[in-house]
């Protein structure tokens, strides 16, 4: 992610983590509210993980494209020497929640099990990113 005018990624890793933490808090709050669609809860879980991974990339001055594809972001991290625990590599399951499920017409129902897995994965990514950012 390289802005055309400045040649540097926008924001600091700490700012990205603040946004990630806010998305995770939104997901947690919404998860307990039956009037909020599961797809929207999962969207915020995906956003938390995406922003946390981007914070790690920024902390190591690794460029990344404008993408919501978590698998792509993790591959960029790994290709640049970032150690990824095996359970973090599963975070790609969050990617469909970035776009596909945000609008009517998505062909499969997001179940309570899906929601719980999305939340679990977002929590794991956030904990990993927080640990990776200690000292940065």
For 66-77, the pLDDT digits (tens) are 899 999 999 999
- Do you know the residue count of the chain? 136
Question: With 0-12 CB in 10 A as exposed, 13-18 as middle and 19+ as buried, what is 57?
Answer: buried
Residue 116: band (very low, low, confident or very high) from pLDDT cuts 50, 70, 90: very high
In whole angstroms, what separates CA 78 from the centre of its chain?
16
Please enumerate in sequence order all residues whose Cβ is within 8 A of that of 48, keeping only pairs 6 or more positions apart, or say none. 20, 21, 23, 24, 27, 122, 125, 126
CATH of 13-133, one of 2.70.70.10, 1.20.120.330, 1.20.120.530, 3.30.1050.10: 1.20.120.330
Q: What SS3 class is residue 10?
A: coil
- pLDDT tens, 28-45? 999 989 999 999 999 999
CA atoms within 13 A on the CB side of 40: 12
Q: Contact at 8 Å (CB) between 73 and 57?
A: yes
Instruction: Compute the mean pLDDT over every residue in the chain, rounded to the nearest whole number.
Output: 91
């Amino acid at each position: 992610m390289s802005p055309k005018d400045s040649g540097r990624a926008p924001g600091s890793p700490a700012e990205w983590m603040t946004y990630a933490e806010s998305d995770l808090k939104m997901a947690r709050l919404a998860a307990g509210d039956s009037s909020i669609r599961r797809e929207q809860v999962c969207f915020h879980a995906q956003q938390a993980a995406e922003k946390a991974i981007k914070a790690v990339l920024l902390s190591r001055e690794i460029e990344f494209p404008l993408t919501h594809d978590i698998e792509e972001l993790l591959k960029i991290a790994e290709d640049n020497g970032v150690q990824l625990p095996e359970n973090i590599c599963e975070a790609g399951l969050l990617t469909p929640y970035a776009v596909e499920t945000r609008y009517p017409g998505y062909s499969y129902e997001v179940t309570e099990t899906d929601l719980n897995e999305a939340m679990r994965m977002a929590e794991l990514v956030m904990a990993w990113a927080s640990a990776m950012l200690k000292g940065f």
